[in-house]
Amino acid sequence: MAEYNDNILELNFSGNGINPYTVKPSEIATQVVNFEEILLNVIKENNPEIDTDQILFSFINIGDKSLDIFFKPLLSIPLILASYQLISDGINSNDYSNLPAKSVESLNKIAKFARKYNCIATFKLDDRSLASITKETIINKIDYGVFEGETILYGKLTDIGGEKPNLHLKINEENKIIIDISEEDAQKLAVNLYQYIGLKGSAMWDAKTYQVIKFKFNSVVPYNGCNTFNAINEIKNNITSGIWDNYNSENEINEALFRK
C-alpha cells in the first residue's frame, strides 16, 4: 500500500464494483498514460525550463479496494503539486481554459472510461479528494482557434516520396511536419534528402501552441548553411569561450540551431 502524507498522487476509480480484476490490464495501462499526459503537459506549458523527459513522478502501485492508481513525485515536487492543483481546479470549476489542449484531451479519455464502467474518477492527494469526474461530467474540447499566413519553414528533409507523395520536415526535435506534395515536386526535392532546406508556402498554426498544423507547399528557398557556419566561426575566433565552442562542423551547427 502507498504511504500517505508523502505527496502521493492518486487516480481513483470507484463505484459499480470496479477493481483491477474487472478491467483489462491494457485499459489500466491506458489510464496510467492518460494521467501522465495530463500532468506532464501542464508542467511543460507553464514551466518550459523543466525537462519533462526526466522522470518527474513515477507510477508506484495499484490498489484493489476499487481501482486505485498511485503516483509519487520525484523531482520538482512543489511544481508538480501546483500543476496537479491547477488540474483539479479546472475540473471543479468546469473551466479548462488554463489547461493545455493535450491535457484536456486526456481528461476526456478518463471521463470516457468512467462512463464506460459507470464509475467515478477522483483525483486525490494523500488520500484527500481534490476533484471528481462522474459519468455526467462533460469536458468540452478547448478550441483556441487557428491563424493562417504565408511563411517559410526551415528544417531537415528526413523523408520524401510514397504512392501519395509527401515529405517529412524535421523543424526541431519536437516538431516534425508531413507535407503533401505532387510527384513532380517530390522528384525535384528528392535531391535534398537529409539536407536542411527552406519551404515557402501558406501555413495554418494552432493559436494556442503556435505549432504548424497544415502547410501548402509553393516553392523551395535555398538554405545557405555556409553563411551560418562562417558567422559562427567568426564569433568563435573573436570570443575566448562560449556556447559555440563545441560545434566544429556545418552539420553540428545546423543540428544545434534547429534543436528546440
Question: For position 77, what pLDDT does the model report?
Answer: 95
Q: pLDDT tens-digit profile of 204-244?
A: 887 767 788 899 999 998 776 554 445 445 544 554 445 44
Whole-angstrom Cα Rg for the chain: 23
Phi and psi torsions of 67, nearest 5°:
-120, 100
Question: For position 31, what pLDDT does the model report?
Answer: 97
Q: pLDDT tens-digit profile of 113-150?
A: 999 999 999 999 999 999 999 988 989 876 667 888 99
Mean pLDDT over 50-60 rounds to 94
Contact 2, 8 (CB under 8 A): yes
Q: Which of 255, 250, 248, 251 is nearest to 229 (CA)?
A: 250
Contacts of 53 (CB under 8 A, 6+ apart): none
Using the predicted structure, report yes or no on whether residue 200 has a pLDDT greater than 60: yes
Confidence of residue 252 (pLDDT cuts 50, 70, 90): low
Please tell me the distance from the alpha carbon of residue 12 to that of residue 122, in angstroms, as a whole number: 5
Question: For position 260, what pLDDT does the model report?
Answer: 46
Please tell me the distance from the alpha carbon of residue 113 to that of residue 24, in angstroms, as a whole number: 12
Q: pLDDT tens-digit profile of 88-102?
A: 999 999 999 899 888
Which one has a higher pLDDT value, 78 or 140? Answer: 78
3-state percent breakdown (helix, strand, coil) of the chain, nearest 5: 35, 30, 35
Contact 87, 42 (CB under 8 A): yes
Percent of the chain with pLDDT over 70: 82
Which one has a higher pLDDT value, 196 or 253? Answer: 196
- Cα 51 to its chain centre, rounded Å, is 12
Contacts of 103 (CB under 8 A, 6+ apart): 37, 38, 39, 41, 42, 87, 96
Contact 169, 127 (CB under 8 A): no
Compute the mean pLDDT over every residue in the chain, rounded to the nearest whole number: 86
Please tell me the distance from the alpha carbon of residue 218 to that of residue 181, in angstroms, as a whole number: 9
Question: For position 144, what pLDDT does the model report?
Answer: 66
Task: State the burial class of residue 203 (Cβ atoms within 10 Å of its Cβ: 0-12, 13-18, 19+).
Answer: buried
Which one has a higher pLDDT value, 14 or 148? Answer: 14
Give Cα separations from 123 to 1, 10, 34, 104, 120 (angstroms): 17, 6, 13, 15, 10
> Residue type for 123, please?
F
Using the predicted structure, report yes or no on whether residue 258 has a pLDDT greater than 60: no
Helix axes 77-93, 101-116, angle to 10 degrees: 60
- Cα 17 to its chain centre, rounded Å, is 34
Residue 195 cell numbers, joined: 539536407
Question: For position 110, what pLDDT does the model report?
Answer: 97
Question: For position 69, what pLDDT does the model report?
Answer: 97
Which one has a higher pLDDT value, 162 or 253? Answer: 162
Mean pLDDT over 178-190 rounds to 95
Question: For position 17, what pLDDT does the model report?
Answer: 96
Question: For position 146, what pLDDT does the model report?
Answer: 81
Question: For position 205, what pLDDT does the model report?
Answer: 85
